[in-house]
Amino acid sequence: MKNRHLPRTISQIRSMSLWAIGAVILLVVALTGIWFSGYFFGDGQRSNPQVSSRSESPGETKPPPLEWTSRQVFVAKTLDQVKQAVVKIEIPLEGGAAIETGTGFFIDRRGWIATNDHLVQHMNNRAYVRSADGQTYRIAGVVAKAPAMDLAIIELAERPVKMMILDLSYEDIPRLGTEVYAFGHPYNVDFSLSRGVVSRVLTTAELVENFPDHIVTKINSPPAMVWIQHDARTSPGNSGGPLLDGTGRVIGVNTFVHKLAQYGFASHIRYLRDLAKEATGAIQPLPDPAPPSLEGVTSESIVDLRQIRPLWQFAESISWTPGDLQQYQKLAEWARIANIVKILQVQGKIPPGVPPSVVDQAATEADGLFRTLTPRQISQESQHRLNTWAKEAGFQPHMGIVFVGRLVAETSPGIILLEFGNQGPHVLLRLRPDLPELNRDDPVFVAGLVSPQAAEIRIGRDSQQERVPVVWGMFVMSLAKSDETGTDTGSP
């Protein structure tokens, strides 16, 4: 995860935990010989918060409007004001080709910002923060950190003229059902607010008792450390953001999320408050980004995550009807990248030291784009062109392929046999666990990844033996859908 264009090779893999640390990483990283170049996995557009500030109760006094003067500091009293205290932390990696992002918030008039230590661990001297008004500020360094609590405080190189800070005075243990709010940048949907309730308050020891391999065991969190479990929606990108009550007081710092149960976990604010009190003000400068090694990297092992959306947009611009081999190869490249990240997500494999959100985000984006595709968009002409160029490109191992075939049979659970084009060669297609609805003789659109393996099968009444390519089909769709006139779309 260093400078230039691609990082060092990582050959070992490990199982992905159900527990995700909430930073968003947009980076270049090797994964079992596959290289990822990251960028925005989402659409890069800001969205409205999922909820707005709470409405006034009868008799409640609305805070007066803020009137800024030079170097004036306010403490946020409403959720609307909290937004002005939250920042997006952006860490350029790989010479700027990749960005790791997370959340922080102002806690002190000296320009101190609280966040998670796991985000600070990746920081270099090119890191900066972005405020809600679009202003960016350089980071001077780290003034305090508590790795066992996944907390850190950074200081800006220059302070904003107008600064809003958050209230860290909360002392209580929140009761079950307490309404809470999470602020952050989930999947790069910037400055977004979500609402939920406290569902449980527990200690590190209780977490480990239920989940022996929990993240807290890896950072050696104190057994008595208090964690607030809540269901305010948090995702990668909320890492280091505040968990708040309705008045804008911080009750915790969002740190990790259980991906399946969709519960967020925040450390109680008392630990951040103590860390700030203990800080001497000495600044630890951030290091220079280090360059990666490109030794042994081949072109087919490069996966540029920045291309997921642009390649898809190109496919849409030509209506999935490539006019030449070069255009087809762009569609096949989308299929290659999308299948790699989806396979890794399904298999639960991730390179050491990389948050699970890297693969998760890319696979989620690819899934979202593919769901927008409908059978109507793959016309007869599209099918003919795709198969023509797919045949010319051939079934090259480790490369993407886009074609339409007819479903001949399901050979075993999760594996189907397709006939490529009209009476063409056969292909074995390995499907994802959440199988699409496919029926025999359906024309099937495939955006797949050619496996280095091949298979020997016997077909027909005379059991004629045939050697067929094997394709990972993480993105497939039946084209047996009727148009408005009731005519089925057939295979080319």
pLDDT the model gives residue 374: 93
Residue with more model confidence, 58 or 363? 363
Query: What's the whole-number mean pLDDT along residues 7-25?
Result: 38
Least confident of 180-194, 299-313, 405-419: 299-313
For residues 241, 122, 14, 357, the Cα torsion angle rounded to the nearest 10 degrees is 40
Same domain, 260 and 146: yes
pLDDT of residue 360 exceeding 90, the answer is: no
Map tokens 């990283």 to a residue.
29
pLDDT of residue 84 exceeding 50, the answer is: yes
pLDDT of residue 97 exceeding 50, the answer is: no
pLDDT of residue 384 exceeding 70, the answer is: yes
pLDDT the model gives residue 62: 53
pLDDT the model gives residue 359: 77
The 3-state DSSP class for residue 183 equals strand
> pLDDT class for 19, splitting at 50, 70, 90?
low
Identity of the amino acid at 318: I
- Contact predicate 182/258, CB 8 Å: no
255, 285, 315 - which closes a domain: 285
> pLDDT class for 468, splitting at 50, 70, 90?
confident
Same domain, 259 and 334: no
- Contact predicate 251/243, CB 8 Å: yes
Least confident of 153-162, 165-174, 284-293: 284-293
**Domain contains 12:** no
Same domain, 120 and 262: yes
**Domain contains 370:** yes
Query: What's the whole-number mean pLDDT along residues 62-84?
Result: 75
pLDDT the model gives residue 214: 82
Same domain, 276 and 151: yes
Instruction: Decide: residue 467, CB within 10 A, 0-12 exposed, 13-18 middle, 19+ buried.
Output: exposed
- Contact predicate 163/109, CB 8 Å: yes
Q: Which helix (H) or strand (E) segment is 339 a member of?
A: helix 325-347
What's the CA gap between 356 and 212, in Å, rounded?
A: 18
pLDDT of residue 33 exceeding 50, the answer is: no
**Domain contains 315:** yes
pLDDT the model gives residue 133: 92
Domain count, the chain: 2
pLDDT of residue 70 exceeding 90, the answer is: no
Q: What is the CATH number of the domain that holds 419?
A: 2.40.50.110
Mean pLDDT of the chain: 79
**Domain contains 58:** no
Same domain, 280 and 365: no
pLDDT single digits (tens) 184-196: 998 778 999 999 9
251, 285, 319 - which closes a domain: 285
Query: What's the whole-number mean pLDDT along residues 332-339?
Result: 93
Pairing of strands 136-146, 98-108: unpaired
Same domain, 116 and 209: yes
Same domain, 214 and 361: no
Q: Which helix (H) or strand (E) segment is 206 a member of?
A: helix 204-210
pLDDT of residue 200 exceeding 80, the answer is: yes
- Contact predicate 9/37, CB 8 Å: no
**Domain contains 257:** yes
Max distance between CA atoms of the chain, in angstroms, equals 88
Query: What's the whole-number mean pLDDT along residues 56-69?
Result: 50
pLDDT single digits (tens) 128-167: 999 999 999 999 999 999 999 999 999 999 888 889 999 9
> pLDDT class for 408, splitting at 50, 70, 90?
confident
Same domain, 177 and 263: yes
Same domain, 260 and 114: yes
pLDDT single digits (tens) 246-268: 999 999 999 988 877 789 999 99
**Domain contains 416:** yes
Q: How many CB atoms lie within 10 A of CB 75?
A: 16
Query: What's the whole-number mean pLDDT along residues 10-15?
Result: 29
Query: What's the whole-number mean pLDDT along residues 336-359?
Result: 75
**Domain contains 131:** yes
Q: What is the CATH number of the domain that holds 152?
A: 2.40.10.120
> pLDDT class for 453, splitting at 50, 70, 90?
confident
Residue with more model confidence, 21 or 365? 365
- Contact predicate 101/185, CB 8 Å: yes
The 3-state DSSP class for residue 242 equals strand
Identity of the amino acid at 40: F
pLDDT of residue 177 exceeding 60, the answer is: yes
Residue 387: which domain range? 307-478
pLDDT the model gives residue 172: 94
What's the CA gap between 1 and 33, in Å, rounded?
A: 14
The pTM score is 0.54
> pLDDT class for 356, splitting at 50, 70, 90?
low
Same domain, 316 and 210: no
Q: How far is CA 62 from CA 181, 374, 388, in A?
A: 19, 50, 67
Same domain, 396 and 448: yes
Same domain, 233 and 140: yes
| Rounded (10°) angle between helices 325-347 and 308-317 | 140
pLDDT the model gives residue 215: 82
pLDDT the model gives residue 98: 54
**Domain contains 224:** yes
